Structure formats: C-alpha cells, structure tokens
Amino acid sequence: MTQKHAHSDSLSSNPLLKTSPHPHHAVPFPEIKVEHYLPALEEAIRRAKAGIEQIKNNPEAPSFANTIEAMEMNGELVEIISHVYYSQLSAETSDELQALAARIGPLMSNFSSDVLHDAKLFARVKAVHDGPERARLSPQQLTLLDDAYLDFARNGALLSPAQKEQLRKLDEDLSKLGPHFNDNVLKATNAFELWIKEEKELAGLPDSAREAAAHAASEKGQSGWLFTLDAPSYLAFMKYSDLREYREKMWRAYTSRCVGGPFDNLELIKQIVGLRHQRANLLGYPTHADFVLKKRMAESPQVVNSFLGRLLQVSKPAAQMEIAEVARFAREQGGPRELMSWDLAYYSEKYKIAKFHFDEEQLRPYFKLESVVEGVFKHAQLLYGLQFKETSGYPKYHKDVRVFEVTKEASGDFIGLFYADFFPRPSKKGGAWMTNFREQGHYLDGLMRPHVGIVCNFTKPMPGKPSLLTFMEVQTLFHEFGHALHGLLTQCYYRSQAGTNVYWDFVELPSQILENWTFEKEALDLFAHHYETGEAIPVALAQKIKDTARFMAGYQCLRQVNFGLLDMSFHDVDPSEIKDVATYEHRVTDRSSVLPQIPGTLFSTGFSHIFGGGYSAGYYSYKWAEVLDADAFELFKERGLFNREVAQKFETHILSRGGTEHPMVLYKRFRGREPDPNALLRRDGLI
C-alpha cells in the first residue's frame, strides 16, 4: 500500500471526519482518540481552504449569497472538530491532549489568518459591504455582513503584507500561551494536598466536608482525610476549619499557585499582555482594552472604568463596615486581633450564624443533586415549556456524564441535546462552564439543533450518601443552566449568531438571571426537599436564604470590582510599565482591597478567565450583566415568577435571538426601555 493510500484510508476511518452514526449526529466520543484530532483538523482545514478558493474565484459579481453567506457555510467541519477538542481539553484532559494544544492552536490561528488576510476575498466582502444590496438585507443578514467586514478589518485586512505577517506571528504565539497558562493552573491546583491523620484536626468541619475528605483519601488508597484546592474541598475548609494555621496554609497554597516554581505563570502573564498590546497597536488601537471593547455594549475603557468606579465608590465603604463588624465579632470570640484573608470566610460564616441563627450546612439535606437537577428542569418547563428526558442512547466522554434529549412540551419538537458533567476529577479543570459540541443553525446538511453541555465541580456522592449541594453550588447549577438555555432555545439561521455568540458583556444575562429564582420559596418548593424525609424546605429556612442574601453584599461586590479593575489594569495600559507582576498587582488592587496584602500571593497567576479564557478586558461584564439581570428580574417579580407572558418575551427577544442584532436593541424589545443601572444596587441593598 502506498503512503498516500495509507493516509487516505486513515482519514476515511477517522471518526471526526465521518458523519456520526448516532441520533442527531451526536459526537462519537469513545471512538475518538488523541491521534485523530490533528489529521482530522488538517483535513478539515484543507477542505475549508478549497471552499474559500471557490468563493473568492467565483466569476459572478460579489453578492451577499455568493460571498458572505457562502463564507458562513464554509468550514463547518473545522468548527465541529475544534469544539470537540477544546471541550475535552478542559473537561477530560491528558498530558497528550495538552501537548497537542501547542500544535492545534497555531494550526487554527494560521488558518484564520490565511482567510482574514486574503486580499482578494476581502475585496469581495468590501464590495458587498459598500454596495447597494445592503439596503435590502434583513437585520440578521446586515449583522452578518457588518460582522464579516469587521472581522477582516480587526484581523489585519487593511494592513500591509509585512504587517499581516507580523500579526500572524502574534496570533500564533498567543494561541499557545493561553492553553499553557491554564495547564499550569490545573497542575498547580492538583499538586497541593493537605493530609490530616488526627481526627481532632478536623475540628469545626461539618460531616459533609469530613466525608468528602475521607473519600478523597480512600480513592488514593490512604487512610485519614485529604483536602485539596478543588473548589468543594477548599471552600468548605476555609469556611469551617477551626485550625487557623491550616486555613492559612490552604489559603497561601491557593493564592500562590503559579507564583514561581515548576508551574510559574509570572512570565507568561507579561508575554500575554505584551503580545496583546502589540496586536492592538498594529491594528490601530491604543490598548488591548480599546480593541476588545469596540465590540462590547460598554464600547470603551472609559465607560468600563467609570462603571467600575461607581461600584467601587458604593461598595468599598459598605465592605469596610462589614469587615469591621466581622473583625469585632472575631475578637469577641477570642479570635485574632487583626483579621486576615484566611480568617474572613471562617469568621463571617460564624457571624452570619450568630446574626441570623442560620448555618448554610442546614440547607444541604434539601439540595440533593438529582433533586436540584429535576428542579432546574422544572423551571425550564414552567418558563419555556421544555422537557428533559435522560437517555443512554448517546455516547459520552466520561462515565459521570449524563445526556438528555430536550423537546418542546406542547409540540414534541426536538430542541437539542444536553450533557451534564458534575463532579471533580484530576482530568478536569476547576470551576464551572457551559460548552458547545454543535452550534444551532444551518449546515450543509440543513438546519441542526444544538448540542450543549454544562461542566461543574460539585460535591461528590459518598458511599451510602448522595451528593448534597451547598447553596452556592445550587446557584452555580442554575447559572450554567441559564447559559445552556441560551444555547438550546436559539432560533437563528446563521451558526455564528446562534446561542451564546453575543457580546461578552451580554452573555451573562441569561445565566445570572436564573440565579434569582433560587432565593424564592415558590421556586425552592419545586426541588428543595429533604433527601431522607421528603419534607419541603421549611418557610423559616427559605426565609433565611433571603435574609442572608445581602450579607456581606458590599464585600462581594467589591471583590468582583477588584477583579474587574485588575483585568483592566493589565489591558488598558502600555504593559512595558509592568516590570514585576507581583508589585504591579498589589499596587493596582490597593484601592479596592480591604484586607492586608500578603507578599508571595497573587490572584493574577491563577486568573484563567482573562489569561486563558475569553474575558480579557471583559471581566467587568459579570457586574455589567448583573445590572441587566437585576433589572430584568424585577419584571418577573412584578408579574409573577413563572409568568409565561414575561418568559415568552424573554425567550423571543433574548434567548432565541443570539447575536442577530445589537444586544441593547434586543433588551429594549424585552423590557420596553434601557436597563435601570440602580437595579443591582437596590437588590444588594447598597442604595
């Protein structure tokens, strides 16, 4: 057999290049091996490039259909393969998958550069953009056209050949650095272990945390208790452990991840912000923030800094008062004279219990994971008429993953596939996120419904005991499910506009608004039942959730503002002034800090959102979207939590429309006006 035929046979058997035999073309996860990704992507890119050649050499005059729409339909295989690869890189990774990122990142980057630097192709796009046909286009077609033109312009189409080559190199380098940053954070997180052998050293920890730690130890073939930096373990320890020296050890380990050592991110941060700044300058923008915000609701660094400044002005005095109250309480309890960062969660929790006679651990028995999942599905049914049916008929990438078919209750129409992946494991990065395996929209085979998933790191079930969630985990589930609804309920013709393909400071509205229902007794009654007795959550306990919702609201707001300001400080400046990341971070966060800064600890080195994700110059968007969600939820509060008319308006104008029009246009159609900026401060009790 010749080498060419062997290569051809290899491609023909590659599961990433074949039409999936499973219903709705579900991803054939078990059949996909690490060695399949690179050849599949190379072949997909070869086909996509052939499609581009046909578009740009079309002898017919440029039109919306033969240029803009044709480009939208081209390269669908590249999109699908990259979706699968990057989802696995985060949720079910390995050393081999991580090593592949250094090859796949540049491959994708160079393909994008080849398209966006093609002068002949851009000439066709520009001809349609500047031509008379635009006057006849629908709003979504006009958005697609303008986005296509801007994609070229923002990726160097107007640059000289030498500048284009410089931009290509910058993009290729950046495509490697983000995955490298995330890889370091994951490895540094996994590297730390706190082993406890004496039961007396578990003082203060609730049974749930002890059982989880014992289970973690047994999984490693050891006796005793194992605590790690994974969120369920770390947060429970910091909130409840009576041993201050151990809390300090955990806190220092968490906040010194990737500060020097084998997984150092300090130099990576300087490289990333430096390359981003060079890229922005090359494209004619003063800073990376100016470049990013041109395609955001906020539109400019000045607007973002003003927005964060307003929140800082309101939240810092409130946070200082809250910290002073907790510090006074700690001293009364025989605690430290000066409250430190490793004391805050512990003493604020004790203060909350004393003030409200309420311990959040009381809630866990009412939040059995399976019940909360059924509850969030019930919300989707009552609000949007959706049905979720679990099925074993689809392939999964890990045994813990659950797969659901989603349909419309009234019509039975298939809406999409929903994958749920809830528990921590060494192969999964920390945090929680929503992912797409297939976007909704038109493909060469016709209209396809979306395949979406949510990935979390919740408290694991123990032998003989189910997974019982904290209230924060319940909120996280509702949050990520809100993103999933955005992906599932989309009704767009073009894939690039579907679902969560919206401005970054708008994308958190569908997720954050759903969190509001977790504070309401009417909503809690749908799922919050004691896992042993079946008793509904008592009225008094549900009221405690509402009463404590504003507890430490100033500090929590300030904390998010601090992260937003830190993000902007890296991306709204000339990074040549950042000589030392640690010194720089401590200086810029001084005005938004209310606890002593500790040498050797940083947030930046683990800030994956902005250095390894899509939130650079965009972390402010969480608070921005909180304004939107607080304002939008006020309408549900006025008309009824499950008012179908309001929910239908939210689905019609927000969830189904994706990025077809400017988000403010969509929001005003839903709300009848622009959002009230004080809605968030009202909800938090800060005004």
- pLDDT tens digits, 233-284: 999 999 999 999 999 999 999 999 999 999 999 999 999 999 999 999 999 9
CATH pick for 365-547+622-683 out of 3.40.1190.20, 1.10.1370.40, 3.10.20.30, 2.30.30.90? 1.10.1370.40
Residue 5 has pLDDT above 50, yes or no: no
What is the average pLDDT across 458-465?
A: 87
Predicted local confidence at residue 9, as pLDDT: 60
| Third-level CATH fold of 3-158 | Neurolysin; domain 3 (1.10.1370)
**Backbone Cα Rg of the chain:** 25
Q: Which of 486, 504, 511, 492 is nearest to 660 (CA)?
A: 492
| More confident: 1 or 407 | 407
Please spell the DSSP secondary structure of 246-275, one letter per residue: HHHHHHHHHHTTTSSSTT--HHHHHHHHHH
Q: What is the average pLDDT across 333-359?
A: 95
For residue 1, pLDDT over 50 is answered with no
Do the beta carbons of residue 118 and residue 156 sit within 8 Å? Answer: no
Pairing of strands 451-455, 433-438: antiparallel
CA gap 508, 500 in Å, rounded: 9
Rounded Cα distance between 69 and 48, Å, is: 14
Return the pLDDT at 431.
87
Burial of 586: CB neighbours in 10 Å, binned 0-12, 13-18, 19+: middle
Q: Collect all residues with Cβ–Cβ distance below 8 Å to 585 and sequence separation of at least 6.
A: 566, 602, 603, 604
Q: Using the predicted structure, report yes or no on whether residue 311 has a pLDDT greater than 60.
A: yes
Confidence of residue 351 (pLDDT cuts 50, 70, 90): very high
pLDDT in tens, 590-606: 999 999 999 999 999 99
Tens of pLDDT, residue by residue over 357-382, are: 988 889 999 999 999 999 999 999 99
Q: Per-residue confidence at 7, pLDDT binned at 50, 70, 90?
A: low
Query: pTM of the predicted model, to two decimals?
Result: 0.85
Query: What does DSSP assign to residue 653?
Result: I
State residue 293's pLDDT score.
96
Residue the block writes with tokens 């997180």: 189
- Provide mean pLDDT across the span 561-590: 96
Of all residues in the chain, the percent with pLDDT exceeding 90 is 93
Mean pLDDT confidence for 98-112: 93
Q: Mean pLDDT over residues 215-241, rounded?
A: 95
Q: Residue type at 443?
A: Y
Residue 576 and residue 546 in contact, taking contact as beta carbons nearer than 8 Å: no
* CATH homologous superfamily, domain 266-358+553-619: Neurolysin, domain 3 (1.10.1370.10)
Break the chain into its structural domains and give their ranges. Answer: 3-158, 192-255, 266-358+553-619, 365-547+622-683
Residue 425 scores a pLDDT above 50: yes
Q: What's the pLDDT at 6?
A: 47
What average pLDDT does range 99-126 have in this prediction?
94
Three-state DSSP class for 426? coil
Active site residue 35: no
Tens of pLDDT along 478-516? Answer: 999 999 999 999 999 999 999 999 998 899 999 999 999
Which of 322, 405, 439, 480 is labelled catalytic? 480
**CA angle 676–681–682, rounded 5-degree value:** 80
Residue 652 clears pLDDT 50, i.e. is over it: yes
